[in-house]
Chains A and B, each alone.
Chain A
Amino acid sequence: MTEISARRDLSTLEIPTDAWTKPFWDATAEGRLLLPQCGACHTFRWPPGPFCPACRSQHTQWQPAGQGLIYSFTIIRAKDQPPTVPALIEFPEAGNIRLIAAIVDTSLDAIVIGAKVKQNWAKAGDTNVPVFTI
C-alpha cells in the first residue's frame, strides 16, 4: 500500500510580511512564484531582505522561479495522522535558491532527491502558499 503525503489546511495561516517579503506574497496571490535577485550584480538571495549579500545593493528584481527539484525532504509522522513531507525545493534557474515547502498529494515512493516537482498552491488567507507535487 502506497502512502500519500498529506495536504495541511493552511486557510487560517496568517502570513506576516515586511517591505522585502511582500512582493513574494503579492505574486503568489496571483499564482506566480517569483524569487528575489539583485538588480545590480544579479545574485539571487534567500530569504528576501534589504541587501544583496554579494554587493550590498538594495536594488531588487523578482524573477520567475523556473523548474524546481527536490534537494532534501523529511517525512513527518505524527500519531494517527497521515504523513506530511516538508522539503527543500531547489531552483537551478534562480541561482539554486532553496524554498522550504511541502510536497503534497504525492505517493511517498515517488519522493526522491533530484525529482522534478510541479507547482501547486494552498490557500492561506488572502494569498497562496506554494506547495509541490510530482
Chain B
Amino acid sequence: MNQEPAIVGIGATPYYFRGESLPQTKHELIGKAVIAAADDAGLPITAIDGIAGYASGVIEPGQLTEMLGLPELNFAALIAAQGGGSAGVLDLAALAIQTGRAHTVLCLGACQQSTNRYGVTFANMAATPDNVWASAAGLQGPGQTMALLTRRHMHLYGTRREAFGEIVIASRQAASTRPTAIRRKPLSMDEYLAAPMLSDPLCRLDFCLETDGALAFIVTSAERARDLRQKPVHIAASAHGGARNWGRAFFWLNMPDEDFASTGSAHTARRLYAQAGITPQDIDVALLYDHFSPLVLMQLEDYGFCPRGEGGPFVESGAIRLGGSIPVNPHGGHLSEAYVIGMTHIREAVEQLRGTAINQIPNAKYALVSGGPAPIPLSGAILRSAA
C-alpha cells in the first residue's frame, strides 16, 4: 500500500470574477498557486520533479520549469480535455508515483477567461468541416448543447426545472458561508424560476460562473507523505478515459439514445468503484463538476447515487444538501464559488478529508471528484482520508 499516492499540498490564487485577475498574467497566477502548494506541503519547490497538467488553459511544462527554476523533470504530461479530463491530473500523477517515474508531482489547472470566454467557445472556433453544422444551426457554446441533453432527460423521465433549481439553491446555500465564493446570496425557488431563459430549458442561473484563478496540488507516495506537514489524502482510485458511445459528446450529439441524456460517466464510475473496492454508499461527499446544473443531476445517476432517470426526485428530496444522504459540492462549486475547470473540486475534496473544510462533513472518509461531462477523456477520482 505504500505505493499508493497521496495529495500532500494544495495551493490556490484568490478566485476572481472574469477579468479581475488582470494585470496578473495567467502564468503568474499559476506560479503563485505552485509556490503556495509547495509551502502547504512543507516541501521546497525545487523538490517538484513531475508535472501532471490539465491542458486547457495551463502552461507548457518547459515554460513552468524556466519560470520557477525547477531543476529537472522526470515526468511531464498534460491531459487533453475540454472539461472532461480535469480530475485526470490526479490519475496522471498517480501513475507517475506508482511507477516510480517521479517522486513529487505537481498537478495544475488554471483559467483566465478575460482572454477566452468558454461560454462562446463554438463561436470563437474557426469553422471546420466537422463543426460547421453546429454554427449553421446557431449553437454558440456548450450550454446550448447541454440544453439539448437536458430537454431529452425531461422528456424521458419527467424531470422538472425545480430539480435544477434545487441544485443551484443548494450550491448558493453552501457558498453563503465561504469567503472565497463569488455568489453568496441565498436564492429562492421563485427567484430561480423567474430568471431569464438563455437556452430553454436552461436559464441564466443554470450556467456556471466565469472566473479566473489557478490551483496546484502536490502528490507524492503515501510512505513519504507520513513525514510531511499535512495530514495526507490518499488517491484511492483514479481514472481517465471513456466509452465510444459518448465520444465527443456535445460536439457529436449522436450518442445512442440510452446514453444521450446522461453524462457519459458510468464507465468512469465503474472503474473507480472497482479500483477503490467500495460502492456509492461509501462516498461521504461528492464533488461533481457543475458547469451546468442539470449535468449534476445526470452525474448523480451515472455515479450510482440513484437509478437512471430518478435524479430529479432524488435531488428534490434534499439528498444533496449538507446533511443529506450525499452532500454535493459543499464549497459551492462552479455554480456559486468559482469556475476553475474542476480544480476547486479537488481542493474541496482534500480539505474535507483533512477535516479542515469550511462546511465540513463530519468524519468524511471518502470523497468523489468528477471531471466535466465533456468529450473523452472523462475522468474522476476517489480520495480517502488517512486513517
Instruction: Count chain B residues whose beta carbon lies closer than 8 angstroms to a beta carbon of A.
Output: 33
* B-facing residues in A77-129 (Cβ within 8 Å): 77, 84, 86-88, 96-102, 113, 122, 124, 129
Given contacts A18-B129, A77-B198, contact A13 B151 (CB under 8 A): no
Task: Decide if A113 touches B152 in the complex (CB within 8 Å).
Answer: yes
Chain A, residue nearest B134 (CB): A100
Residues of chain A at the chain B interface (Cβ within 8 Å):
8, 10, 13-18, 20-21, 46-47, 53, 71-77, 84, 86-88, 96-102, 113, 122, 124, 129
* A-facing residues in B93-143 (Cβ within 8 Å): 127-130, 132-140
Given A17-B129, A122-B136, 15 other A-B residues pairs in contact with their CB atoms under 8 A: A13-B135, A14-B127, A16-B127, A72-B149, A72-B155, A73-B151, A75-B199, A76-B199, A86-B134, A86-B144, A98-B253, A100-B134, A101-B137, A113-B155, A129-B136
Task: Decide if A113 touches B139 in the complex (CB within 8 Å).
Answer: no
Task: Decide if B197 touches A77 in the complex (CB within 8 Å).
Answer: yes
Task: Decide if A46 touches B254 in the complex (CB within 8 Å).
Answer: yes
Residues of chain B at the chain A interface (Cβ within 8 Å):
127-130, 132-140, 144, 147-149, 151-152, 155, 196-202, 244, 252-254, 257, 260
Specify which of B133, B139, B155, B196 lies most central, judged by the most chain A CB atoms within 10 Å of its CB.
B133
Task: Decide if B196 touches A101 in the complex (CB within 8 Å).
Answer: no
Smallest beta-carbon distance A125→chain B, Å: 11
Task: Decide if B198 touches A15 in the complex (CB within 8 Å).
Answer: no
Task: Decide if B144 touches A76 in the complex (CB within 8 Å).
Answer: yes
Specify which of B129, B200, B252 is in contact with A21 (CB 8 Å cutoff): B129
Chain A, residue nearest B196 (CB): A77
Task: Decide if A15 touches B127 in the complex (CB within 8 Å).
Answer: yes
Chain A, residue nearest B132 (CB): A15
Smallest beta-carbon distance A113→chain B, Å: 5
Specify which of A8, A46, A47, A129 lies most central, judged by the most chain B CB atoms within 10 Å of its CB.
A47
Specify which of A13, A72, A124 lies most central, judged by the most chain B CB atoms within 10 Å of its CB.
A72
Task: Decide if B136 touches A101 in the complex (CB within 8 Å).
Answer: yes
Q: Give complex CA distance A20, B318 in Å.
A: 50
Given contacts A15-B132, A77-B196, A77-B200, contact A88 B139 (CB under 8 A): no
Chain A, residue nearest B200 (CB): A75
Specify which of B138, B149, B202 is in contact with A102 (CB 8 Å cutoff): B138
Interfacial chain B residues near A46, Cβ < 8 Å = 252, 254
Interfacial chain A residues near B140, Cβ < 8 Å = 76
Given contacts A77-B200, A100-B139, A113-B152, contact A47 B147 (CB under 8 A): no
Interfacial chain B residues near A113, Cβ < 8 Å = 151-152, 155
Specify which of A16, A20, A72, A102 is in contact with B137 (CB 8 Å cutoff): A102
Interfacial chain A residues near B151, Cβ < 8 Å = 72-74, 113
Q: Give complex CA distance A99, B137 in Å.
A: 10
Interfacial chain B residues near A8, Cβ < 8 Å = 138
Specify which of B133, B134, B148 is in contact with A72 (CB 8 Å cutoff): B148
Given contacts A47-B130, A76-B198, contact A71 B152 (CB under 8 A): yes
Specify which of B136, B137, B155 lies most central, judged by the most chain A CB atoms within 10 Å of its CB.
B137
Q: Give complex CA distance A87, B151 in Å.
A: 11
12 contacts between A and B (CB under 8 A): A15-B127, A16-B127, A16-B132, A72-B155, A76-B140, A77-B197, A87-B137, A100-B133, A102-B136, A102-B137, A102-B138, A122-B136
Q: Give complex CA distance A101, B135 in Å.
A: 9
Interfacial chain A residues near B144, Cβ < 8 Å = 74, 76, 86
Chain A, residue nearest B127 (CB): A16
Q: Give complex CA distance A88, B134 in Å.
A: 10
